């Protein structure tokens, strides 16, 4: 295995760690083992509170990042209905509550079909989207007022996996294209139900043909690395 020529790694990113943090940890382990600085890039970030498939490319394989980013992705998400947060997930506290008595399983299933296909979506204000040269989350943290334009994203499938009428929680499976924000989808689902919603959990279960079951955890990675046939010396 030659990390300079390039290897594509499928990592299971843990909860509460940034994608860059996971990348930096893997790069540190590779560099320590290989005795030279290993170039590592990612093919699409996950939010810190999300888990699941994070694709990392080393060496010359970093040239394939753009292609990998375009691959279809699958997520499993749990939404809390009847409340909103500034970030549309649990990074921020609930800021407003909304009625939920009108929400039924039948209405949810009917509503979800309207999100299949090409849809207009406004990215979250707490996101890495650029606004006038600045990251949206940087502006939000400074209390700045700004507008993010809607963009077209493609959603191939949405499936309702579970609905708890008492807790007003629902779980969905989403298959979508590049640039789709599941946090924004949660917000829009809440609005479509004449209520509100935010994510309580999010897991990316697949990127292209790389599934969660094929991923290596950060804890497993040192042992996995020891088992590989490596070219230890710099060529």
CB-based contact 146:139 (threshold 8 Å): yes
Distance CA 217, CA 84 (A): 32
CB-based contact 232:35 (threshold 8 Å): yes
Name the maximum alpha-carbon separation found in the chain: 66
Among residues 12, 47, 89, 188, the one annotated as catalytic is 47
Is 118 noted as a catalytic residue in this protein? no
Pick from 7, 90, 11: nearest CA to 52: 11
DSSP 230: -
CB atoms within 10 A of CB 72: 15
Question: Vertex 36, ends 35 and 41: CA angle to 5°?
Answer: 125
CB atoms within 10 A of CB 158: 20
Distance CA 124, CA 109 (A): 24
DSSP-assigned beta bridge partners for residue 130: 135
Query: What are the catalytic residues?
Result: 47
């Amino acid at each position: 295995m030659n990390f300079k020529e390039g290897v594509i790694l499928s990592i299971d990113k843990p909860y509460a760690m940034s994608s860059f943090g996971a990348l930096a940890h893997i790069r540190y382990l590779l560099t320590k083992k290989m005795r030279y600085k290993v170039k590592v890039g990612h093919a699409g970030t996950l939010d810190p509170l999300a888990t699941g498939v994070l694709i990392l490319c080393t060496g010359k394989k970093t040239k394939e990042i753009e292609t990998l980013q375009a691959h279809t992705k699958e997520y499993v998400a749990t939404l809390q209905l009847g409340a909103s947060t500034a970030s549309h997930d649990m990074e921020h506290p609930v800021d407003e509550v909304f009625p939920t008595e009108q929400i039924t399983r039948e209405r949810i299933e009917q509503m979800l079909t309207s999100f299949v296909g090409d849809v207009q979506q406004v990215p979250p204000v707490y996101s890495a989207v650029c606004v006038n040269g600045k990251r949206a989350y940087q502006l939000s943290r400074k209390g700045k007022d700004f507008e993010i334009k809607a963009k077209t994203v493609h959603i191939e499938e949405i499936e309702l996996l579970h609905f708890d009428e008492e807790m007003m929680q629902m779980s969905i499976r989403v298959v979508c294209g590049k640039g789709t924000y599941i946090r924004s989808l949660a917000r829009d689902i809440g609005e479509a139900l004449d209520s509100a919603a935010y994510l309580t959990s999010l897991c990316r279960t697949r990127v292209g043909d790389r599934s969660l079951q094929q991923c290596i955890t950060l804890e497993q990675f040192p042992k996995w690395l020891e088992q590989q046939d490596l070219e230890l010396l710099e060529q």
